[in-house]
Amino acid sequence: MVAIVFITFCSTVLSVEDGFGRMFADGTQIILQGFGVRGRWTNEKFLQSVYIVVLLAILPIAVYLFFGQPVGLLQTAGAIEAAHIPIVTGLTLFLSHRMLPKELQPSKTIFAGTAIAGIFFAVFAVIYLLQLIGVIGSGAGSN
């Protein structure tokens, strides 16, 4: 049973890593081509490798070496996730509006709902990050 859970976990981790690499590579490629960038920085395989190596290998190792404490790592993961959602939401709206044919683009209601969700998470991310660095919520008002 433990082996099955472990294999399933590893499979999920690999799928997520591959998905993030593809998503960020595709988005970067589309955006950079829109600005006229050509060459290596618009090569999907190169971008996917860069994102997987940097974001999913080097960055987590650096974070572990910098923070080292499990609580610090969880706080950092929360900050990354809080900042990540508005970025993905914004890129999704931008790319779907720019790349999809009119008949496949989200309706105004769906677009507005997604934009509101992105704004909500952006505000949440700012508040969370301000709490994390001690600007707000550091025991003010408690006697």
What pLDDT is stored for residue 138 in this prediction? Answer: 62
Residue 25, class by beta-carbon neighbours within 10 Å (0-12 exposed, 13-18 middle, 19+ buried)? buried
Q: Into how many domains does the chain fold?
A: 2
Q: Tell whether 142 is covered by a domain.
A: no
What pLDDT is stored for residue 27 in this prediction? Answer: 86
In tens digits, what is the pLDDT along the chain, a chain of 143 residues? Answer: 788 888 887 788 788 778 888 888 888 888 888 888 888 888 888 988 888 888 888 988 887 888 778 777 777 777 788 888 899 899 899 989 888 999 999 999 999 999 999 999 899 888 888 887 888 876 554 44
131 by DSSP, 3-state: which?
A: helix
What pLDDT is stored for residue 139 in this prediction? Answer: 56
If asked whether residues 73 and 115 sit together in one domain, one would say: yes
Residue 15, class by beta-carbon neighbours within 10 Å (0-12 exposed, 13-18 middle, 19+ buried)? exposed
**Residue that terminates a domain, selected from 68, 88, 114:** 68
If asked whether residues 46 and 76 sit together in one domain, one would say: no
**Residue that terminates a domain, selected from 68, 96, 125:** 68
If asked whether residues 39 and 102 sit together in one domain, one would say: no
What pLDDT is stored for residue 141 in this prediction? Answer: 47
Domain enclosing residue 13, as ranges: 1-68
What pLDDT is stored for residue 120 in this prediction? Answer: 92
**Residue that terminates a domain, selected from 13, 42, 68:** 68
Residue 75 CA to chain centroid, in angstroms? 15
If asked whether residues 3 and 59 sit together in one domain, one would say: yes
pTM above 0.75, yes or no: no
